[in-house]
Structure 1
Amino acid sequence: MTDSFIALGISPRLAEAANAVGAHEPTPVQQAVIGPVLEGRDVRAQARTGTGKTLAFVLPLLQRFTTAPITTPRRVSVLVLVPTRELAVQVAESFESLAPGLARPPRVECVFGGVSINPQMMALRGGADIVVATPGRLLDLVQHNAVRLSNVTTLVLDEADRLLDKGFADELNLVLTLLPPRRQTLLLSATFPAAVRTLADSHLTDPVQVEIADEPLAVPSIAQRAFLVDEGRRTALLAHLVRQEGWTRVLVFVASRHGSEHLAEKLRRRDLKAAAFHGDLSQGARTRLLEDFKSGHGQIVVATDIASRGIDIVELPVVVNYDLPRSAADHVHRIGRTGRAGAEGLAVSFITAATEAHFRLIEKRQGVRVQRELVRGFEPTETATEAQATGGVKGARKSKKDKLREAEADAAAAAAAVRRR
């Protein structure tokens, strides 16, 4: 019903456009965020993946654009920073899919690395109202004088925890120095580790704080199953389950790029349609692969964690943890690819003797217990070593990388405090 969005301050035309793309009722994060964004407030929002964070800022920013003064040439007033190319495309498409509901649609440009910079420079020649970008490519474009950030009035940091991962923190800090100090800043994240809290404290002014509690994962829309299997028999079990269960589309998570290529090749040898998805693929190859998968032409995509966030695949029925994730938070992000928008979904995890203790800790942190299953002919025979039996999930203790990132964030915060004096 569009009335719910209208009650939040969204125009009837824009609410109808949201309804047309499947947003019939505002989610909790949208209910909490839309109003403050319309008021021009800074917002710090925490909600897990798949809860509608993107539309929570896209809708009100488009609504505000309808009353913004017209400038010629167009100047970038809204900048959205995201950690991956796939998420950049998804956010830009969200703006563009809703823009036809406006009398004066904004010009949206999406820029990211991994492709030639020249077409992006050409596209920006006529100016843009909204730019969705990965930090590295944005800095390249600034260096080439292809885009100016001096007129940005709203900055959105989407998936802020990933933006602060290694390779993004330094670039993000450089971008922040190029922006006007007086602006609206929206920071959205699935998790809020210390570095993200420091970033929020340094760059947000009197923010509205929104925290949407995680819903239990063991809900009807996301059923979880765990299969006990020897490490060397996981591929055979995966192929067996795909055929036995009649899975038509499966997203399989592995730990490495090499592992994704290797597993996809082994599945193809078993006459299954499988493709690897990872950061080494060209942007064109990644886009084609996802389009084929979303349209039903692909059966199995074997992915690294690059696909655990920011990729919205409608009615994806099954996600498989071939390799377990490093942390409970990563597990949430992975299985969040299925069971979206109220659709039913299934999350499957392969548990070996070496990873049983690790999975128990993931279960403990999620507050769930997944029954272990055995498949005839695939009963495990391996046993865990003493070290493996202790398990371990990233996050119990701070790693050296985590400590370094926090130190960098503290230094950035101190520098920002000096600038504000």
Structure 2
Amino acid sequence: MEFKDFGLHADIERALTAKRYTQPTPIQSQAIPVLLEGRDLCGIAQTGTGKTAAFSLPSLDYMLSNPRPRTPRGCRMLVLSPTRELAAQIAQSCRDYGRFTKLSVATVFGGVPINRQIRDLSQGVDILVATPGRLLDLVDQRALRLDDVEIFVLDEADQMMDMGFIHSLRRVAKILPKQRQNLFFSATMPKEIAALAQQFLHDPVTVSVAPQATTAEKIRQRVTFVEQKEKQALLHHVLRSEEIDRALIFTRTKHGADRVVRHLKGAGIDAFAIHGNKSQGQRTTALQAFRSGQVRLLVATDIAARGIDVSGVSHVINFEIPNVPEQYVHRIGRTARAGAEGIAISFVAPDERTYLRDIERVTRTRAEPVALPDGFTEMVRNLPKPAQPPRNTGGKGRDPQRQREDALRKKADGAPSRGPRREAAGEGAQPQRKRRFRPRRGGVGAHKGAVQRVG
């Protein structure tokens, strides 16, 4: 079967041809015909199987075949995503598939000013991709109305539950109109997710293209048992001995991710960190640098474990393995995408062996054990000192990653990176006048001989 066999709108087929998409993935082959009929769908597929195209292509086809004017502060299609990065990716895919149409796509999520999003929604949009928190903020401010939604998509439902969005989702379900088409996608389907699906779906067709909590067949899984305090030395060895195109390195905590990056920088290895404590601008810049190959290593918490479609990830390294088996599946699913092969390496400390047994039981797989390298004790002893942690001050104390991100962002915008202040001012610029602090008469410092502070 090929995409042209679905009978999609000609403008969509043009976009697929431009992207050189010819044959659909299994989830697309099963889901698209059902959605073209207007049925509700419950799709179960592990990450990286093409779920975004599975729901966006038939939805675009419906809106092109049933044109309607946009209503102020409204949308025809609503897609809910658990993370900002996934929301931005889904929106970009919708724009790519609808590039030859006049359908509008907007994205709303936290971490950025809300006023601009309010302006973008004022005239209405065709497709809105949102995270639950910012969506409800806009609804509460009456900047968004959901009574015109014809298609509702809940993507990565199991991660929504893991991140505590259950109450927000229930509220969204009450706001949405009753007459709508519902699309529910999840990588896993435990009982809690099935109960959530019943709140949104009406007589759905269930499509499953992979057994629950399985790993991609083309991922070679390896495990090394090592003490927690020796993991950094092992990571340096792996990065220098493996042929790595791009690697995602996962930690369980935000501070752990920053600590790994500082150790890598201390050894002269460039890397960025991405986690919830980073600003949206930092996270976006880090992902763009990782996608473009400017940075080969991205250290992340599980915020990046799902839905981030970065091609060319050859390795996933679990610096710390997750305590939830399903999360392991999502992590290593960042490699071996679109038919490629990949390697997943896990460092397991003695207190993590229980987590490993849970993962093996759920995934029904066993990773290949790899012994510590020869001379590992010497590697641990000679481990370079980590780079100094950033201070919350300007100038010399600025976060090195933020400085690098600022430079990359300015380079993308065509602006020069920050240089010395004299150069930035430009040749012939007038020097700034120094402002003098003059105390009020009779106030503090008004006594004779009081020092006047400069600056």
TM-score (structure 2 length as normaliser) = 0.79
Amino acid at match of 1:97: D
Amino acid at match of 1:244: S
> Aligned-pair distance for 1:195?
2.1
**Residue 202 to residue 108, structure 1, CA distance change in 2 (3 Å):** same
> Aligned-pair distance for 1:357?
4.0
Q: Which runs of 5+ in 2 are unaligned?
A: 379-455
| Alpha-carbon distance between aligned partners in 1 of 2:17 and 2:312, rounded to the nearest angstrom | 18
Q: What's the counterpart of residue 301 of structure 2?
A: 304
CA contact (8 A) 1:318 1:347 kept: yes
**Residue 235 to residue 22, structure 1, CA distance change in 2 (3 Å):** farther
**Structure 1 range deviating more: 159-168 or 54-63:** 159-168
| Alpha-carbon distance between aligned partners in 2 of 1:213 and 1:39, rounded to the nearest angstrom | 23
**Residue 72 to residue 96, structure 1, CA distance change in 2 (3 Å):** closer
Q: Deviations over 1:310-346 (max 9, x none)?
A: 1110111111000001122111100000110112211
Q: Deviations over 1:236-287 (max 9, x none)?
A: 1111111122424211000101111111111111111022110111111100
Q: Deviations over 1:382-407 (max 9, x none)?
A: xxxxxxxxxxxxxxxxxxxxxxxxxx
| 4+ residue runs over 6 A deviation | none
Q: Which has the larger radius of gyration?
A: 2
Q: What's the counterpart of residue 419 of structure 1?
A: none
**Residue 166 to residue 266, structure 1, CA distance change in 2 (3 Å):** same
**Structure 1 range deviating more: 149-158 or 170-179:** 170-179
Q: What's the counterpart of residue 194 of structure 2?
A: 197
| Alpha-carbon distance between aligned partners in 2 of 1:34 and 1:248, rounded to the nearest angstrom | 33
> Aligned-pair distance for 1:378?
2.8
**Residue 359 to residue 106, structure 1, CA distance change in 2 (3 Å):** same
1:154 aligns with 2:157: no
Amino acid at match of 1:281: K
**Residue 357 to residue 137, structure 1, CA distance change in 2 (3 Å):** closer
Q: What's the counterpart of residue 138 of structure 1?
A: 135
Q: What's the counterpart of residue 283 of structure 2?
A: 286
CA contact (8 A) 2:216 2:333 kept: no
| Alpha-carbon distance between aligned partners in 1 of 2:339 and 2:220, rounded to the nearest angstrom | 13
Q: What's the counterpart of residue 183 of structure 2?
A: 186
Q: What's the counterpart of residue 13 of structure 2?
A: 15
| Alpha-carbon distance between aligned partners in 2 of 1:222 and 1:371, rounded to the nearest angstrom | 11
| Alpha-carbon distance between aligned partners in 2 of 1:237 and 1:117, rounded to the nearest angstrom | 44
Amino acid at match of 2:265: R
| Count of residue pairs brought into register by the alignment | 375
| Alpha-carbon distance between aligned partners in 2 of 1:284 and 1:96, rounded to the nearest angstrom | 21
**Residue 379 to residue 333, structure 1, CA distance change in 2 (3 Å):** farther
Other structure's SS at 2:360 match: helix
> Aligned-pair distance for 1:96?
0.3
Q: What's the counterpart of residue 333 of structure 1?
A: 330
Q: Deviations over 1:27-72 (max 9, x none)?
A: 1111111111111111111111111111100110011111123315
| Alpha-carbon distance between aligned partners in 1 of 2:144 and 2:341, rounded to the nearest angstrom | 43
Amino acid at match of 2:308: I
Aligned partner (choices 318, 321, 324) of residue 321 of structure 2: 324
CA contact (8 A) 2:316 2:345 kept: yes
CA contact (8 A) 2:261 2:273 kept: yes
Amino acid at match of 1:66: L
1:79 aligns with 2:83: no
1:95 aligns with 2:94: yes
CA contact (8 A) 1:44 1:186 kept: yes
Provide the aligned C-alpha RMSD in A: 1.9
| Alpha-carbon distance between aligned partners in 2 of 1:218 and 1:88, rounded to the nearest angstrom | 24
| Alpha-carbon distance between aligned partners in 1 of 2:265 and 2:147, rounded to the nearest angstrom | 51
TM-score (structure 1 length as normaliser) = 0.85
Other structure's SS at 1:114 match: coil
Q: Which runs of 5+ in 1 are unaligned?
A: 381-421
Amino acid at match of 1:217: T
Q: Percent identity?
A: 43
Other structure's SS at 1:354 match: helix
**Structure 1 range deviating more: 11-20 or 186-195:** 11-20
Q: Deviations over 1:175-218 (max 9, x none)?
A: 12111112111111011122221122232111111112239636
> Aligned-pair distance for 1:356?
3.0
| Alpha-carbon distance between aligned partners in 2 of 1:163 and 1:218, rounded to the nearest angstrom | 22
**Residue 264 to residue 81, structure 1, CA distance change in 2 (3 Å):** same
